[in-house]
Chain A
C-alpha cells in the first residue's frame, strides 16, 4: 500500500525558506500526480501545487512566486520549497498522491506542522 511521509524543519524564521520532502513508499512516483496541500491551524485546506514525473509542475498562482516543487524519480520522493515565509505560512503541510485520472488526493501523508517564527 502506498504511504507518504513528510519531513523537514518544524520551525522556520521569517523571510527564510521552508523546505519539505515527501518520501513515497509502496509505489513509484512515476505515473500519478503528487500534491502539496496545507492547512493553517484551525482553518481550511489550500492546494499548493503538484509534481508530475514528466516534468509538468503546477502551482497555485497565489503562491507561485515563492514556491518550487520538484521530484526525484530515482530516489522516489518529491519536495516543496517556499521562499520568504511569513507567519501566514504557518500551517500543517501535507503531501498526497493524486490519482492519474482526475487528481483526487489519496492517500495523504500524516502532515507536518511548520511554524514560522523568530
Chain B
C-alpha cells in the first residue's frame, strides 16, 4: 500500500495568515493527489483534485501543488471558516489511502 504522511500534524495560525501543509507519498503517485477539509462533526469536503485543480465553489485562497511524491496545500489569508482538519488522499492505485490529517486551529 502507498502510505501518505502529512506535516505538520497540527498548527496554530491567525486570521489572515498564510499556511502551508505538506503531504508526502511513499511511492510515485503522479498527480493523483486530492485534498479535503473536515470541520468537527461534518463530512469531509473536497477542495482540490489532481494536485492543483480547485473544486468548483472552493475559494481561490486555497491552492495546491506538487507531483510525484511531494505535495503542498496552501491557504492564503486564512479565514475563520478555514480552521479545520485537512486530509490528503491518493487515488493512483488501490487501496486509496489518506494522510493522517493536519489540524489548523486558531492561535
Contact = CB atoms under 8 A, between A and B. Distances in A.
Interface residues of A, number: 24
Contacts of A99: 49
Contacts of A106: 46, 49, 55
Q: Is the interface of A mostly helix, strand, loop or mixed?
A: loop
Chain B interface residue bracket vs A: 20 to 34
Q: Is the interface of B mostly helix, strand, loop or mixed?
A: loop
Interface of A: 35, 44-47, 58-62, 94, 98-99, 101-111
Given A61-B95, A62-B95, A103-B96, A45 B89 contact: yes
30 contacts: A45-B36, A45-B44, A45-B101, A46-B98, A47-B89, A47-B94, A47-B95, A47-B97, A58-B94, A60-B94, A60-B95, A62-B95, A94-B43, A98-B91, A99-B49, A102-B32, A102-B50, A102-B91, A103-B91, A104-B34, A104-B49, A104-B50, A105-B44, A105-B46, A105-B89, A106-B49, A106-B55, A108-B43, A108-B46, A111-B43
